[in-house]
Structure 1
Amino acid sequence: MRGSIWRPSPLPATYKTLQTAEVCVEPRLWVFSTRVTFAVLTGLLSLAIVTAFAYSLTQWTLLAVVALSLVLINALWISGGAVTALLGLMQPKLPTKSLPDCSMPKGRTAILVTLCGEDPGPVADYLHKLAGDLVQQNLAQENARLFVLSDTSDADSIEKEEGAFGELIASDHVSYRRRARNVGRKPGNIADWLQRHGADYDYMMVLDADSRMSARRVRQMIWQLETRPHTGLIQAGIALIPGRSGFGRHQRTSSRLLSRNFGRGFAAWSGRSGNYWGHNAIMRVAAFRAAAKLPHLSGRAPFGGDLLSHDFVEAAWIRRAGWAVELEPDLVGSAEDAPQTLEAFHRRDRRWCQGNLQHLRLLAEPSLHPVSRFHLISGIFSYLAAPVWLLLVGLISSGAVSLAGALPLILVATALLLPKICALIDGLTRSKTAKRRVVIARAWLAELGLSSLLAPLIMVRQAASVGSVLLGIDCGWKTGRCRAWRVPSGSIEAAVGLGFAALTILMGSVAALWLAPVVLPLVCAPLIVRVLDAGA
C-alpha cells in the first residue's frame, strides 16, 4: 500500500452479499471473525519474533531492553502485512455476480480528472479514447460526464493545456475548468467542483493525471455502487502502466505479483471500513460531502497547514458519517503510472511521509471508526518502521546489543517473505499451463532479488524523511523544496552502508553475517541506482 514500492478476482461472494438493499448479518459476522483471526495471528507472530530476540540476547542491558521494545514495534508492523497476505490466500474462491450486459445506470456520474502542471498530452489522448468507449458502454453524456479540473498556474503550461484539450472542449466531450487560485490543492479543487456542480450528479469518480480506467471498469463500478445503497466509496485495485526503466518494470512486476492477493486480504479484514488512495475510486456525492471540508491543521508545516495525505482522512470522514468504504481489489481496467527513477520515487515518498506523519494529530479525532483509526496508525508506522530498523542495525553492528543464534533473523525473514510466498502460491494455483507457471516463478525470483536489494536503500531514505519532518523541514506539495536533502546516485545510502561496515569491523562484532544483506546493497547503491534508472 502507500509507503511501499508494491501496492495492490473479485471478492468472495460472502463479502458481495453487501450488494443487497438490506445490510445482512452474515457479512458483518464474516468480517468480524476475519478481524479476530487477523489480530490473533498478528499477535502470535509478533510474540514469536520478540521471544526469539529475547532468547538470543547474550547480555541484558538497558540498550538491550530498548532494542527489544523496538523489535516489538516493527514485529507488529511486519506481522500485520504477513497475516494480511495469508488471509488473502485463505479467502474462498466463490463465484461472484458479474456486470449485466444490459444494465443502465440510474444516476448521473461525473468523472473528475485533476491536473496541476502535468503534461496534458497523454491525458488528452486518454480522454479522447475514454469518451468514445463510454458511449460504447451505454454511458452517454447524460449518464457520465468528463470534467478536467486544473490547478495549473504556469503560463506556458496553461497554454499547452488549453491547446491539448481544445478539441475535446469544442466537441463538448469534456468540461474544462482552471482555477485562478489554487486554494486547498487537490481537495480544494474537488470541493470547488462539488459546490458548483455536485447537485447535478449522484456519483463522482476521481482520477489523477496519471490514472487510467477503462470504460468497462467505470460502468462496472457505477453498477456496484448502485447495488450497494449503504456504500459511500468504492476503491478499485490499481495496476501499474508498463515501466520505461528497470525500476519502473520492477514496480510493475511487484504490483502484478503481490497486489491481487494482498488486496483480497486487506478487503477481507477491513470490510466496510476500507481506505481511499486518492484516485481510481467512485463515491456518492452525498457521502463525499461529509469529507469535502477537511480540517486545516493549526501551526506551520510540516505538521501544520493543509493535509498532504488527504485521501486516508476523507475515507475516515466518510465512514464516520455512516457510509461504507470498500475495496474492490480487482486490477482489471484500473491503472496508474509510477515513478521511473529512484530519485522520483523518493521525492514522492518524502511527501507521503510528511502527509502520513501529519495524521498523528488526527488520531484523537472523536467518533472515528476503530478500523479507520487503525488505517491512520498503519500509515504512520509505514514510515516510522524505517528509522526503527536503522536504529536496530546500528545497535547490532556496534556490538551494543549482541545476539547469539539466527532464530530472530529467520523469523523476521519469514514475516517479510510471507506476502511474497502467498502471492506466488496464488499465482501458481491460478495458472492453467506449465509454461505460465514457469513465467510466474521466474518473475517471482527476479522480484524477490531486486526488492531485497532495494529494501535497505528505501529504509535509509525513509528514515531520512522521518528525520527531516521531525526537524521541521517542509517539502510541501509538488514543489522544488528540499533540494538540499536530495543527494542523487545512491551516495547517502553508500555512506550509511560504509559506516555500518566500518563500525562492525572496528567493534569486532560477530553480527557481520547478519548485517551483510543490509550493508552490501547500501555500499553498492550507486551502481544499483544507475542500473535501475537506465531507460527512464
Structure 2
Amino acid sequence: MSDSAMHDKTPVPPPPGGVPATEEAIWPPATPEEHRLDMPVQSLRHWRRDEERQPVGQQHRRIGSWIARIVIFGGALLLTAYGAWQMYQVVSVSRTTVLQWVLLVLFTINFSWIALAFTSAIVGFAVLLRRPQEGPLPTALRERTAVVMPIYNETPSQVFAAVAAIRESVEETGLGRHFDYFIVSDTTNPDIWIAEERMFLALREQAGEDARIYYRRRPKNTHRKAGNIADFVTRWGGAYAHMVVLDADSLMTGGAIVRLTAAMEADPDAGIIQSLPLIINRNTLFARIQQFAGRIYGPVIAKGLAVWSGRDGNYWGHNAIIRTAAFAAHCGLPDLKGKPPFGGHILSHDFVEAALIRRAGWSVYMLPEISGSYEESPPSLIDVAARDRRWCQGNLQHSRVIGAAGLKLATRQHFATGIISYLSSPFWLTQLLVGILLVLQTHYVRPEYFTRDFSLFPVWPRFDSERALALFALTMGILLAPKFLGFLLALLDRSMRRASGGGVLLFLSMLFEVLMSALLAPIMMVIQSGAVTQILAGRDTGWQPQRRDDGSIPFRDIVRRHRWHVLLGVATGISAFMIAPSLFAWMSPTILGLVLAIPISWASGKLAIGLALRRAGLLMIPEETSRPRIATRAQEIAEEFAALGYDDADSLAVLHEDAQARSWHESLLPPARTRRRGEFDTDRTLAQAKLVDAESLADVRAWLSPKERTVLYTDRALLDLLARLPTAREDEAGARDRKAA
C-alpha cells in the first residue's frame, strides 16, 4: 500500500490546551497511487553494443547532422590552423624561446574554442535565415505525461503560482486531461517546508478537486536534484509515458508542452527532446544583460548546436520532455569513486543522463523553434558566480565520465565542451600572464624594444608587430561574430526589430551589451580561474538555494568578494604602464574591468539601473514589449498566494496554533518507524525532554536546535506535545492572572 493511501484519514490532533478532538479531518491524498519503475544504477566501465536498441526510422536526419559537423568542425580546424600559423609567424621572427612556445600553445587552444563557436554560429545563422516555423498546435495526444517541478528552499508562492499558471495554459489547449502535475520538494528549511504544504492546499483549492496536482517532500535530499527526479520516476513513473522536467524558475506555455509531447509521440526513437528556454522577467542590470544576450544571440548559437548535434544532442536539466521508461532503464546514476569534488554523486547530472540514454540507442535532440519555454536568471554578478562555482565543479567532474564505455563521439564532445568552457578561463589568464612576461623580457634586454612614442600595440623586434595586430583583430572579430549575427537576424525580422525598440535602439543595446561584457569578462575570468584552482586543490562546493528575485547585495559583501580582483587590476595596470604606455593601452579593457570590479558588481544587482535602461528603451526584448500571457498570469497568482502570508510565517507558531495546518502536515508524514528496544535517537530524546519542560512556545523556539526542530516536524507524538502548550493568548491570560494574584 502506498504512503498516501495509508494517510487518507488522519484524526485531528488535540487542539492547543490538550482538549481532545471530537471530529475527524479527512484529507485527500497529496500523491496518486504509486506505479513503480526500477531504475538500475548504470555502469560507466562496461557496456555491450548488443545492449543498444536500433532506431526505427528517420535516418536521413543523421546525414544532415554529419554534413553540419564536417562544415563546423572542419571550418573551426582550418581557422585554428590559420590562427596558429599566424601566431607562429609573430613569435618566430628570431629564435623562439620557451615562453614563446608556451604562448603559441595557449593561443592555439583558446583560438580553437572561439573558432568552433564562430563556425557553429554561422551554420545556425544560415538555417535561421529561412525562418523555420513551429507548426500548428496538435489537436490530439495518445498518452499521459507528468509535468514535474523539483524545488529546493524556494519561495512557495512563486513556484506554486508557476505550476498553477502552467496548468491553466495547458488546459486552454483542450488537451489538459493528458497531463498531471507534480511538485517534488527537497526543501530543508522548516519554515519553507510548512509554507509549501499550506500553499499546496491553497493551490489545490484554487484549481479544484480534479486538477491532478500533487505534492511530495523527501525526508532526505539524497543526490540532490537527480535523486529528487529519480525518486519520482521510481515511485510514479510507471503511470506516465513521458515527463516534462521543469526547474523552480521555469515557465512553459501549454502550447510548448503540447508540442513537445506531440513531437515525442511522433518519434518512437526520441528519449529526450530539449526546448530552448528564454530568460524573461529580469530587471536588474546584470540580469537584463543576460536576458538581452540570450534572446538576441541565443537562437543563433542554439540552432547551430542543434544542427550539428542532431540526434546526439544534450540535455540541460529542465524545460525538456523525457521518455520515462527509457530514462528509468538507462539513467540511474552511479556514484563516482573517491571524495568530492571529483568523486561522490554526479553534480551536473543532466549531461550524464543524456549520455547514458543516448548510449542505449535513444535519440536526444533540441527543438529550438518551439516557442513558449522560459526561465529566469540570477540577479547579480555574485549570484552568477555562486551558481557558476557549482557548475564548474560539475563540468570538471565530467573528466571522470568522458571516457565511459559505449558513449557516442558527439556525447564525448559535449563533455569536452563543458570541461573546456571552464578551463578556458585559466588558459586565457595564463596566456595574458605569459604575454606580460614576454614583454618584460623584451623590455629589459637591450636594445630598448618599446619606443617612447605612444602606439596602440607594443613594438617587439622579436615579434612581428603588424602581424600580431592583424591577428588580434581577427581574434576579436571571431569572438564577436556570433553576437553580430544574432543582431543581424533580429534586425532582418521586422516584428522582432520593432518589438525590441527599433533598429537604432537595438544597435545601441548591442553596443552596450558588448561594452558591459568586455568589462565583466576579466572579472569572470579571474573568478572561474579561482574556482578551477580550488576544485583541482580538492575543495568541494556546497549546494545553496539560488536567489531568484531581483535585489542588491550588501556593499561590504561586494568589497569582500572583489577586493583581490581590484588589487590584481591595479598591479597589472601599474606594471603595464611602467613597461610601456602602449602595453597599458592594449590591456586596458582587462585592467579596467578588474579595477572597477566593485562598482561593476554593485551596479549589476541594482534594480533601479536596470529599470532606467528599460525606460530608455535599451536591452529590450520582444517578451517585454508584449509580455507572455503565462508570465502575467503567474505573477497574478503569485501575488494572490503571497497575500496569504504563508511565505514568511513562523512554522512553529503555525503548527502550534493552527490545528488544521497541523492535521494536514501530519497527513503528509510517512508512517512512523518502529523503534527497537534499547535504540534511542539523541535528537528526538532531547527534543522530547525540552518540549516536556517547556512552558511556552517561546521556550521551544529558544531551546530547540535546528536538528531537533526537524525531528519535531517529523514526529506525530512530539507534535502532540507542541500542540498542548498554551497558546499566546492563553499564556498572556495566565500571566495576567499571576500578576493579579
Same fold? TM cut 0.5: yes
| Alignment deviations for residues 357-394 of structure 1 (CA, whole Å, 9 cap, x no partner) | 00011121011010000000000000000001001111
| 1:473 counterpart (539, 547, 550) | 539
Which residue of structure 2 lines up, in the alignment, with residue 145 of structure 1?
Answer: 180
The answer on 1:387 being equivalent to 2:426 is: yes
| Residues 97 and 342 of structure 1: CA distance in aligned 2, closer, same or farther (over 3 Å) | closer
The answer on 1:410 being equivalent to 2:473 is: yes
Which residue of structure 1 lines up, in the alignment, with residue 339 of structure 2?
Answer: 300
8 A Cα contact 1:308 1:477, kept in partner: no
* Structure 1 portions without partners, runs of 5+: 1-20
| Residues 29 and 63 of structure 1: CA distance in aligned 2, closer, same or farther (over 3 Å) | same
Letter in 1 for 2:541: C
Provide the rounded CA distance (Å) in 2 between the counterparts of 1:466 and 1:487.
22
| Residues 100 and 255 of structure 1: CA distance in aligned 2, closer, same or farther (over 3 Å) | closer
Which residue of structure 2 lines up, in the alignment, with residue 192 of structure 1?
Answer: 231
| 1:281 counterpart (312, 316, 320) | 320
- Deviation (angstroms), 1:101: 4.4
8 A Cα contact 1:221 1:282, kept in partner: yes
Which residue of structure 2 lines up, in the alignment, with residue 215 of structure 1?
Answer: 254
- Deviation (angstroms), 1:528: 1.4
Which residue of structure 1 lines up, in the alignment, with residue 489 of structure 2?
Answer: 426
8 A Cα contact 2:559 2:598, kept in partner: no
- Deviation (angstroms), 1:244: 2.4
| Residues 277 and 92 of structure 1: CA distance in aligned 2, closer, same or farther (over 3 Å) | closer
| 1:529 counterpart (574, 598, 601) | 601
8 A Cα contact 1:489 1:525, kept in partner: no
| Residues 199 and 465 of structure 1: CA distance in aligned 2, closer, same or farther (over 3 Å) | same
Which residue of structure 2 lines up, in the alignment, with residue 8 of structure 1?
Answer: none
8 A Cα contact 2:342 2:397, kept in partner: yes
8 A Cα contact 1:137 1:216, kept in partner: yes
Bigger CA radius of gyration:
2
- Deviation (angstroms), 1:139: 2.6
Provide the rounded CA distance (Å) in 2 between the counterparts of 1:336 and 1:145.
21
Q: CA RMSD in A?
A: 2.3
Q: How many residue pairs end up in the alignment?
A: 512
- Deviation (angstroms), 1:504: 2.1
8 A Cα contact 2:166 2:251, kept in partner: no
Which residue of structure 2 lines up, in the alignment, with residue 115 of structure 1?
Answer: 151
Spell out the pairing of 1:33-112 with structure 2 (5 A cutoff).
Answer: 33-57=67-91, 60-91=96-127, 93-94=129-130, 98-101=134-137, 103-112=139-148
- Deviation (angstroms), 1:187: 0.9
Which residue of structure 2 lines up, in the alignment, with residue 367 of structure 1?
Answer: 406
- Deviation (angstroms), 1:512: 2.5
Provide the rounded CA distance (Å) in 2 between the counterparts of 1:96 and 1:397.
48
| Residues 461 and 102 of structure 1: CA distance in aligned 2, closer, same or farther (over 3 Å) | closer
Structure 1 SS opposite 2:540? coil
Letter in 2 for 1:87: V
- Deviation (angstroms), 1:167: 2.0
Spell out the pairing of 1:154-173 with structure 2 (5 A cutoff).
Answer: 154-170=189-205, 171-172=208-209, 173=211
Greater shift, 423-432 or 82-91, is seen at 423-432
The answer on 1:326 being equivalent to 2:365 is: yes
Greater shift, 193-202 or 437-446, is seen at 437-446
| Residues 526 and 148 of structure 1: CA distance in aligned 2, closer, same or farther (over 3 Å) | same
Structure 1 SS opposite 2:297? helix
Which residue of structure 1 lines up, in the alignment, with residue 505 of structure 2?
Answer: 439
Spell out the pairing of 1:338-349 with structure 2 (5 A cutoff).
Answer: 338-349=377-388
- Deviation (angstroms), 1:356: 0.2
- Deviation (angstroms), 1:532: 2.0
Q: Please report the TM-score for the alignment, with normalisation by the length of structure 2.
A: 0.66
Spell out the pairing of 1:237-252 with structure 2 (5 A cutoff).
Answer: 237-252=276-291
Provide the rounded CA distance (Å) in 2 between the counterparts of 1:95 and 1:515.
40
Structure 2 SS opposite 1:490? helix
Provide the rounded CA distance (Å) in 2 between the counterparts of 1:65 and 1:114.
49
- Deviation (angstroms), 1:178: 0.4
Greater shift, 84-93 or 319-328, is seen at 84-93
Letter in 2 for 1:165: F
8 A Cα contact 2:137 2:255, kept in partner: no
- Deviation (angstroms), 1:100: 4.3
Letter in 1 for 2:107: V
| Alignment deviations for residues 331-353 of structure 1 (CA, whole Å, 9 cap, x no partner) | 62111110101110000000000
| 1:236 counterpart (275, 283, 305) | 275
8 A Cα contact 2:425 2:528, kept in partner: yes
| Residues 512 and 125 of structure 1: CA distance in aligned 2, closer, same or farther (over 3 Å) | same
- Deviation (angstroms), 1:48: 2.2
Which residue of structure 2 lines up, in the alignment, with residue 490 of structure 1?
Answer: 562
Provide the rounded CA distance (Å) in 2 between the counterparts of 1:498 and 1:429.
43
- Deviation (angstroms), 1:264: 1.0
- Deviation (angstroms), 1:396: 1.5
Structure 2 SS opposite 1:511? helix
Structure 2 SS opposite 1:289? helix
| Alignment deviations for residues 202-245 of structure 1 (CA, whole Å, 9 cap, x no partner) | 00010111111111111111111111111111110011122121
Provide the rounded CA distance (Å) in 2 between the counterparts of 1:310 and 1:332.
25
Provide the rounded CA distance (Å) in 1 between the counterparts of 2:521 and 2:592.
12
- Deviation (angstroms), 1:508: 4.6
8 A Cα contact 1:232 1:318, kept in partner: yes
Provide the rounded CA distance (Å) in 1 between the counterparts of 2:264 and 2:284.
37
8 A Cα contact 1:117 1:154, kept in partner: yes
Structure 1 SS opposite 2:215? strand
Greater shift, 445-454 or 205-214, is seen at 445-454
Q: Percent identity?
A: 34
Provide the rounded CA distance (Å) in 2 between the counterparts of 1:244 and 1:195.
39
